[in-house]
Structure 1
Amino acid sequence: MPSILHFPRPRTFLHLISLRTATEFIAFTLAINKVTGLYGILALLTGYHLNPLQLSHYIYSLAVLALVCYLSPAIRQRDGDGVLKTLALAWLYVLDSVVNSVYTSLFGTGWFLILAQHLNEGTPVTGGVPGAGTMNATAGFTSPEHSVSQVDVIAAPGSGVLAGQEAVAFASGDGSGGTLGSVLFERGSIASIMVLGLLWLIRIYFCIIVLSFARSTVRQYIASTSTSTTATGSGYTQTDDPTMAESPFRAGGAREEGAGWRGGLGRLMLRFPSRRYWLGRDESEEEWVRATEGRFGGGGGGRGLRVKVPTGESVASGVGERERRARSGTGPPVPLVVGSKGMVPQ
């Protein structure tokens, strides 16, 4: 498969900070975001009415907040329990992004339909949209219900004995708006959609960062606990496929991490986006090994740096050469010591 189709595997956050620091920051922002669920539940105690969509979102936010507080300390752990929790934290952030996109889509759809309804009176476009009633009741700038650009007054002779006129006023629109498409393409709506798109691009990049950190944590744990390692220390000889490392959550293996429901959860999380993403050998690792062997191992036919480690014979010959030069007087000067007669040779 071409490398351009590989799932992204960044090693730093914007080439500025480490993945661990970035993951800690992302987990902190997620916790701050979910604190809003606590305020939503407190609103119930004041008698505020919440629709089912709002209530479900607040309860969900509290559950995610509890999980983040439980899993975040594992970012700095390097044992099997820390690896499992780091994986769970990464997938929690990814799943939360998906759930938040659904809530945002429902809210945005209801909001734009409410605007379209107020621009086009008599068209019940908000029917069946979750939360539309609450947004319509609490949005202050959608009142009054009649939105017009001008008022036309038509006068006609009044009936009766006395002379007079009867006037009828009716609203006239400016010819713009009235449909969902016209609302979406307004200047303010386009700006809102662009901001939402930018925020979701950032959220997707954050997902890639937390998954990359979890991947590096899994691979470091495999390398540190593997019984037989290769030149890269990644333990790729543990499986039938030399390009795949042994899963730390393998069922029936020697590792205790693969037992019970925790092992099943770990194996499930390592299936997506693919097992090769988590356990496969990187091409960059192979290139690094070849370059290292060419420079320091004396092989490969390259013109890299050659480093010779002195053997026993060369060390012995070196000692003999120093002794010969010392006896012939061509060696380094003898250090002097301070005595009663001044500086004398030691």
Structure 2
Amino acid sequence: MPPPSRTSWLRLPRPKSFLGLMSLQTGTELASIALLFNKAIGVYGILTLFTGYSLSALQVTAYLYSVLVLAALALCAPHIRKLSPLHTLALAWVHAVDTIVSAAYTAAFAAGWYLAAAHGTAGLTGAGEEGAGAPSNREAPPRRQQQHDEPQAQAAQGKAGGAGVPDTAASIVLVVAFTLVRVYFSLVVMAFARMVLLRFVDERMDEAHDSSGASPDPFAVGAPLGEGWRGRLGRAMVSFGRGYWLGGRKEDEEWARQVNSKFRSSRR
């Protein structure tokens, strides 16, 4: 038996089921429904433009992007149960790209919120210093009263400064958790699209693997799905990550054997 290769452990995960309980097709449908609800807010965001509500350029682009994702879902999602190679592959790309773009938007909004909060805190601090340094016509309170009020003022200031720390930590945890869920959903949809492609190759094309062990491209010129703009679009999508979409089953079998052998050795 050949020794396990290190590169096989660095490959992109290929789930075989959804949460170990449901099929990849069901997982793809649930992931698409979740993405649908997530992007539906873009429609309401566009409607706010007609009410005269002021929005930043970043918010406008985010809402327009949500509408584009909804349109792509409307075109691709109905073909999940039809096992259409082109539409399932396009749906996988929609989920993958949306995961990256949504993470970028989240980081941009978080940075803007942090800068605005820091600016507001600095403004309040500056106003407090100006108020403390401004001359006053009132008489200074007795020294005993000053000693009594100083600890209370320091405690109140510390409480105001640290009030946002738990909220910020909770927000970061939620953002990271939702991002991980998005990544898992994308992996499930991509694995489903890969399964549909390989099944189509098995049923409609001859098993003629190339030197790298990859299956033939169903969108190639002269292939069953290689005609017209659909073929060009399919070839463009498959060209990025060809080893993943059309990778041979030998790699999957080798990876499964390595995982099983490592699991058995860990139990001894």
TM-score band by shorter chain is: 0.7 to 0.9
Q: 1: distance between equivalents of 2:191 and 2:210?
A: 25
Q: 1: distance between equivalents of 2:41 and 2:253?
A: 47
Q: Give SS of 2:123's match.
A: coil
1:293 aligned residue: none
2:261 aligned residue: none
Q: CA deviation at 1:27?
A: 0.6
Q: 2: distance between equivalents of 1:271 and 1:187?
A: 46
Amino acid at match of 2:115: L
Amino acid at match of 1:283: K
Contact 2:42 2:64 in 1 (8 A): yes
Q: 2: distance between equivalents of 1:11 and 1:240?
A: 24
Q: Which runs of 5+ in 2 are unaligned?
A: 141-152, 255-268
Q: TM-score, normalised by structure 1?
A: 0.60
Check if 1:67 corresponds to 2:72.
yes
Q: CA deviation at 1:285?
A: 6.7
Q: CA deviation at 1:35?
A: 1.2
Check if 1:280 corresponds to 2:250.
no
Which structure 2 residues correspond to residues 1-346 of structure 1 after superposition, within 5 A?
1-2=5-6, 3-78=8-83, 82-121=84-123, 165=138, 174=157, 186-226=165-205, 228=206, 235=207, 238-241=208-211, 243-251=213-221, 253=222, 255-272=223-240, 274-283=241-250
Contact 2:18 2:24 in 1 (8 A): yes
Contact 2:40 2:66 in 1 (8 A): yes
Q: Deviations over 1:35-80 (max 9, x none)?
A: 11111122122221222221121111111111101110111113xx
> Number of residue pairs matched?
234
RMSD over equivalenced CA pairs, Å:
3.1
Q: 1: distance between equivalents of 2:58 and 2:252?
A: 48
Q: CA deviation at 1:183?
A: 9.4
Q: Which has the larger radius of gyration?
A: 1
Q: Give SS of 1:277's match.
A: helix
Q: CA deviation at 1:267?
A: 1.6
Q: 1: distance between equivalents of 2:209 and 2:54?
A: 58
Q: TM-score, normalised by structure 2?
A: 0.76
Contact 1:27 1:72 in 2 (8 A): yes
Amino acid at match of 2:14: R
Higher strand content, 1 or 2: 1
Contact 1:183 1:189 in 2 (8 A): no
Q: 1: distance between equivalents of 2:202 and 2:185?
A: 26
Q: 1: distance between equivalents of 2:188 and 2:200?
A: 18
- Between the aligned residues of both structures, percent identity stands at 39
Q: Deviations over 1:235-262 (max 9, x none)?
A: 2xx24437221110112x2x24112332
Q: CA deviation at 1:114?
A: 1.4
- Check 1:41–1:98 CA distance in 2 against 1; reply closer, same or farther (3 A cut): same
Which protein has greater RCO, CA pairs closer than 8 Å, 6+ apart? 2
Q: Give SS of 2:20's match.
A: coil
